[in-house]
Amino acid sequence: MSRRFSAARTLAIFIKEFQQMLRDRLTFAMAIGVPILQLVLFGYAINTDPKGLPTALVSYDSGPMARTLTAALQNTGYFRIVVQSPSEHAAEALLETGEAQFMVVIPPDFSRRLVRGERPALLVAVDATDPSASGNAMAALAQLGGQALRHDLTGPLQPLQSGMPPYEVRVHRRYNPEGLSRYNIVPGLIGTILTMTMVMLTSLAMTRERERGTMENLLATPVRPMEVMVGKILPYVVIGYLQLGVILAAAFLLFDVPMAGSVPLLMAMIGVFMLANLGVGFTFSTLAANQLQAMQMTFFFFLPSMLLSGFMFPFRGMPVWAQWLGEVLPLTHFLRIVRGIMLKGNDMGQVLPELWPMLAFLAVAGTVALRRYRQTLD
């Protein structure tokens, strides 16, 4: 054999390897699809400056000053009044369920006290569970000041435009008074870590059986497809709860994250979430020909879950089509549930609107996984 480097032999190996790569269509599709997915998500779906945030307005003053201020809030582009609530209690309920990001309360004597130069207080309550989602809106509110009423403060009221703003803005950061980012990130890590590990570990289950040659032994037993599926999933549920214990211990002992709600309710919701992800992983395991393909499909599912769920970027900052895609993912609903229970103290009735989408996803994923497994048996 010649010891000289041969370009011809190298070219032959290159052609052989390239042809072998093209035969593995799934791997080749992932190599092309993942960069395209990243470009689309980061280029179009990610927005760190969310606008049109849902706002509940409680106005006890129907005077012109109050109407002008309301219009000025909407003109900033950050506040979108979705409901004019008759009471603060009803508006606070919208904050607790996440239907509203802000609650603006205009007192009954706002216009009269403003004209007298008494600087009435405007109450703004904000859902601060995700500080990055409301930071720019709060900055816009602070800059509004006297600009909102400059067309009304004319003539005898002209002196009110000079000096301090004619009204005071009192901001209440609900559920996270200090605006600590770890209150938002640490509960979210529960969902992201469980998504990655549950889907990845389960997706390797069936492919490992085929690669080791033990699938034939499993098929020779009288075990039914449903029994195999449940038997393979349950060990990973135990692992998931062990991971959960580590995360919660770190959350309470190291990061001082509060637990305002029910621990048993949180455990039950985490169980549903884990089963939904395990169903996805089991489906991937029946589609993949080897463990490498299973890992690639796991990454293809995990990337949109991270970017479109509201964990890394504000959910309401994404375009409508990206929000529709995000609503399909179980991580999106689980993040709302875990943050609602831990930070807001939500009960079963308040988390129910986010629970049924996870149950629907679980039903679909479980059905597909079972059918794919039966096809594998055939």
| pLDDT recorded at residue 156 | 59
Task: Choose the most confident range, by mean pLDDT, from 135-139, 153-157, 288-292, 334-338.
Answer: 334-338
Q: Is 256 exposed, middle or buried (0-12, 13-18, 19+ CB in 10 A)?
A: exposed
The order of strands in the sheet holding 121-127 is 79-84, 53-59, 102-106, 121-127, 168-174
- Give the up-direction half-sphere exposure of residue 350: CA atoms within 13 A in the CB hemisphere: 23
Q: Are residues 287 and 342 in the same domain?
A: yes
DSSP labels, 25-47? HHHHHHHHHHHHHHHHIIIII--
What digits encode the pLDDT tens for the residues 234-251?
888 888 899 888 888 988
Q: Are residues 169 and 306 in the same domain?
A: no
Boundary (domain end) residue, out of 174, 198, 223:
174
* pTM (2 d.p.): 0.84
Q: Are residues 141 and 254 in the same domain?
A: no
Owning domain of residue 218: 182-377
Percent of the chain with pLDDT over 90: 22
**Does the residue 336 lie in any domain?**
yes
| pLDDT recorded at residue 338 | 94
Q: What DSSP state is assigned to residue 344?
A: I
Under 8 Å between Cβ of 229 and 282: yes
Q: Is 298 exposed, middle or buried (0-12, 13-18, 19+ CB in 10 A)?
A: buried
For 60, the enclosing helix (H) or strand (E) is none
Q: Are residues 81 and 205 in the same domain?
A: no
- Computed over every residue of the chain, the mean pLDDT equals 83
User: What CA–CA distance (Å, rounded) separates 148 from 197?
Assistant: 51
Boundary (domain end) residue, out of 174, 198, 224:
174
**Does the residue 236 lie in any domain?**
yes
Confidence of residue 205 (pLDDT cuts 50, 70, 90): confident
| pLDDT recorded at residue 327 | 94
Boundary (domain end) residue, out of 143, 174, 205:
174
User: What CA–CA distance (Å, rounded) separates 286 from 55?
Assistant: 46
| pLDDT recorded at residue 134 | 85
**Does the residue 13 lie in any domain?**
no
